[in-house]
Structure 1
Amino acid sequence: MAPTKTFNVNLARTNQVIDVVRQLPNDPTYKSDDVVHISLSISPKARIEVASIAGIIQYSCDLVISKRVHDVVFDFSRVKLPFTWPNKTIRDILTLKPMDPVAIELVSKDCRLTVFKKNDHKRRDSWYDHVKNWRKDLPQRFHLMLNELVENVSAHAQLEESRFVFTVGLYFNTKRQLLYCIADCGVGLKGSLRQAIVSEAKQASARACALNLTRPKCSSKGIKRGHQGVGLFITSELSQMNQGYLEILSGTQEYEQNDNTVMRIRGVAEWKGTMVHGAINLDKEFNYRQAMKLFADPSKLSKDRFLVAHLHLNVYGERCLRTRELCEEIIRDLELSVERSPKIILDFTDIVEISQAFRGFLRQFVVNNKKVKIMILVPPTADEDLKCDLQELVDLAAENLVDDD
């Protein structure tokens, strides 16, 4: 089958998943009879992340199942995968065993990668049992966290039954670390929140969604209706307790936790859906029950849970921060960040203008949080007006540090 479109995806040494997503185009020129050929290469000294492979497979499944292209063919000859890829195209895989919800499951000693093509609860329960019994060094109750994340796909991706597909990957890349990934091509966090029952969740759809959904008792369908909002909160807390890693990609937003040091939010190339992936350290505590207790009683959460909260203001999808509604939303998110970290970095890279009202809001935020170390990053490409506006905030934040000393 001759390819009609070919592109190479390079697996970078750092920020690999973000870089892979950037290289997976949402090409409006795709035709229904196209065959897309994806060739993988890897940078020197880079390690394959299971989320990168899961993302590529998920992207390809979405292209075929939504009938945007006819087929996708992979060339993995220049990379060493942690499993043996069958000699099949994505179309072959998705049409094989049409009644089976699992399109493919690749299992090796260190890796497990599964593509679900139907939303079948019974088959997922069977899959969970296989995961639980896969390896003795799998963290106890890890499958419960995995269950929450997979249930989130079923409940919130809002995929049509005819094109319901998502990919799960688990990979022991070292003896001391487990990597995991759940990727879908649904409506994304914003799309799900916009259609929420609870007004608070609807309001959060305009904000840095993952920042809000990783806090306790934020549910899009209402706790009283039996939807606890456990999934991303528990995942976030377990990652921090374990000093692991967590990254959430949805739409044009990325949320990142690196152990208990950094929480970062930034705008990225668009992922049509949601991808949650991270790392669990096998030589450190993984206590699901303790995380559930914190969910039940958030008052016991430590306030300074991250040393630094790094917020890129481009996460709101606007280069000019002018409207009052947007400015108020940003300030609310900053207040939420202050609850988590004693140091805030406000990164204005990619921002070209802020309104005088927003500058006033930020001034008040700095004044109200004198005990918080606030760093303002001025983009080198800023014009004189923006530099002047931000320099005033830089000076004000510096006064706070002096007063704190």
Structure 2
Amino acid sequence: MTSTKSVQVQIVPTNQVIEVVKHLTYDPLYKKDDVVQITVTTVPRARLEIASIVSIIQYSCDIVLSNIVNDVNIDFSRVRIPFSWPNKSIREILFAKHDSPIALELVSRDCRLALFRKNDHNRRDDWYDQIKNWRKDLPNRFHLMLNELVENVSAHAQLEESRFCFTTGLLFAQKKLYYVVADSGVGLRGSLREAIVTEAKDLASRACALHLTRPQLTSKGIDRGHQGVGLFITSELAQMNQGYLEILSGLQEYEQRDNTVMRVRGITEWKGTMVHGAINLDKEFNYRQAMKLFADPSRLANDRFLVCQIHLNVYGQRTLRTRELCEEIIRDLELAVERSPKIILDFADIDEISQAFRGFLRQFVVRNSKIQIMIMVPPNADEELKEDLQELIELAAQNNITDE
């Protein structure tokens, strides 16, 4: 017997995509014959982002293709979107009788949204040409960056053909080009677990995107034609252009805002990987320069971000106790030090740290005396955790004094 399940998605002004994803849960009470009704609304002063639209569509496609539910209807009528949403259910869109691998493409003057249902390289080549010739103000060679992101879906999502589906979105607004590519595959960690290259495989249990934006890191091996340029090039272009980049995969989010902030934190799970960001149309977009940096990483300057903020919940544990986890965190912090002169450690959602971890962190603070380190204590921390962190706060404050 068919039943209807209602999902309310509210659009907010800040951290919008993360807040939207919180509503897109894989409810264990869903049944195969259910129909899900998703209604999208906004709060005052909130502007609907293209990545939020894509995340809702991609999630809806995945729960239908995975036979978690029978169908999904999306109601965008209460929000302003940059195209006309078809009066069709997700099942009708996905299983329409046509041979094109593109199940849906919506094009307006300022927006393109494409839903790919099949893994067809030739058709994607045609699509890249259409993108390239779509608007005269499209940044030169932007399609090459988009190509890298989309090709990563077919190479790393590891989706069987019956579930292969990904959604892309492009939107021109306020002298910016917003872009997003989202899939529902195995995610960054799942892909790294299957890596051929040992260095990449070792990252599968760590803050993946923090490492995957490094140059020349590849999971398949450069000698096999996989150069690992996708996320690195996207990251560098965002920084050089003073745009932004956000990556959601599994329980982790990576974010960078031009050369100001780099942040990693734990989030509500996104099944797959979503890469989105913005390019400033009134600033330089130099794909060739980014490729040169990839080829010669020695030209990359240290202190590339003013601040690196690491939320310790990114490791999926509320208690930081095991030696292996502590060592992984310190290795990630050492990588952050290479890129930022100021480190913020946020202990929100952490209940307890071991004495071993406190010792590791003490050594890290002392070893990096020229780095400003700020430790954020969660307001609901118990007295024991506050006491453990207070000693580190006082030790870290000496770094600031030494700098002055």
State the alpha-carbon separation in 2 of the partners of residues 336 and 224 from structure 1: 26
Deviation per residue, 1:323-380 (Å, 9 max, x gap): 1111110001000000110000000111111111111110110011111000011111
Letter of the structure 1 residue corresponding to residue 202 of structure 2? Q
- Equivalent in the alignment of 2:250: 251
TM-score in terms of structure 2 length: 0.99
- Counterparts of 1:369 and 1:309 in 2: how far apart (Å)? 14
What corresponds to 2:265 in structure 1? 266
TM superposition shift of 1:25: 1.4
Length, aligned pairs only: 404
Partners of 1:259 and 1:47 lie apart in 2 by: 21
Counterparts of 2:197 and 2:146, CA distance in 1: 25
Which residue does the alignment assign to 1:288?
A: 287
Q: 5 Å matches for 1:5-404?
A: 5-174=5-174, 176-404=175-403
Counterpart contact for 1:3–1:37, Cα < 8 Å = no
Structure 2: distance between partners of 1:19 and 1:264: 17
Report deviation, 1:2.
7.8
| Aligned-residue offset at 1:100 | 1.6
Out of 219-228 and 102-111, give the one that drifted further: 219-228
Paired with 1:73 and 1:400, the residues of 2 have a C-alpha distance of: 55
Cα distance in 2 between the residues matched to 1:209 and 1:35: 35
Equivalent position SS for 1:10: strand
> Structure 2: where are the runs of 5+ without partners?
none
* Contact 2:3 2:33 survives alignment (8 Å): no
Percent identity (aligned): 73
5+ long unaligned stretches in structure 1: none
* CA deviation profile, 1:58-103 (whole Å, cap 9, x unmatched): 0000011111111101111111110011111111100113422100
The secondary structure found in structure 2 opposite 1:375 is strand
CA RMSD of aligned residues (A): 1.1
CA drift of 1:226 comes to: 1.5
Q: SS where residue 303 of structure 2 aligns?
A: coil
d(CA) in 1 for partners of 2:3, 2:138: 40
Within 2, Cα distance between the matches of 1:98 and 1:34? 26
Distance 1:275 1:76 in 2: 21
Partner amino acid, structure 1, of 2:224: R
> Which amino acid is 1:371 matched to?
K
CA distance in 1, matches of 2:381, 2:98: 55
Spell out structure 1 runs of 4+ moving beyond 2 A.
Answer: none
| TM score, norm. by length of structure 1 | 0.98
Give 3-state SS (helix, strand or coil) of 1:311's partner.
Answer: strand
CA contact (8 A) 2:2 2:34 kept: no
Mean CA deviation greater in 39-48 or 282-291? 39-48
In 1, Cα distance between the equivalents of 2:375 and 2:310? Answer: 10
In the alignment, residue 64 of structure 1 is paired with which amino acid? V
On the 8 A contact 1:97/1:103 being kept in 2, the answer is no
Letter in 1 for 2:118: K
Q: Secondary structure at the match of 1:161?
A: coil
